[in-house]
Amino acid sequence: MKYAFVASVSAETWITRMEQVEEEKGAVSKRRRWMRRRLQAKEDTPGSVVSSTKLVRRMVRRAKRMADVVVYFPHWGIRYHRPVFDEQIKMAHAAIDAGADLVVGHHIHIWQPSEIYKGKPIVYGLGNFAFGSNNRRADEGLVVRAIFSEEGLRRVELYPTYSKNVD
């Protein structure tokens, strides 16, 4: 299976690298939304890209041309805020509309709801896995297991996690 990793160089410039892992090709894209300016990518400094639905669509379409499977993996949301923001929904739907097979969001340290959109799974937030927190809501999380075959995404399994780690 081939994976594509999208690295941030600037908001308009990003590099995609393919690695041979078996016969299929897959693309994983990581984007960050709602971030501190000091973490933002510059022309000469790698970092995170502030996304827009337009940029997400363009990036996913490009990845889809190079890969059999595209997973959009955004870093988004506000810490410890469980309800999904309209902006997250718009961006996840834009990724699916552009060809993503799966959307898995992360960042907020607690799990968020999931949905099926046009037959494609969207997990808005994974929560914590082993990362510590004093916030009692951060004890629960999700592990996503995606099963792929020659035909593409076969199924997605969600496994609940519980961790009592403190920084």
CA dist., res. 98 & res. 92, Å (int): 10
Q: Which domain holds residue 54?
A: 2-162
pLDDT of residue 138: 75
Burial zone of 140 (CB within 10 Å; 0-12 exposed, 13-18 middle, 19+ buried): middle
CB 98 within 8 A of CB 56: yes
pLDDT of the residue at 156: 94
Higher pLDDT, 144 or 33: 144
pLDDT tens for 63-94 read 888 888 888 888 888 888 889 999 999 999 99
Per-residue model confidence (pLDDT) at position 77: 82
Residue 7: which of 40, 37, 30 has the closest Cα?
Answer: 30
Q: Is residue 167 part of a domain?
A: no
Q: What is the mean pLDDT of residues 108-127?
A: 92
**CATH number of residue 48's parent domain:** 3.60.21.10
Q: Is residue 41 a contact partner of residue 10, using CB atoms and an 8 Å limit?
A: yes
In the chain, the number of structural domains is 1
More confident residue, 4 or 91: 91
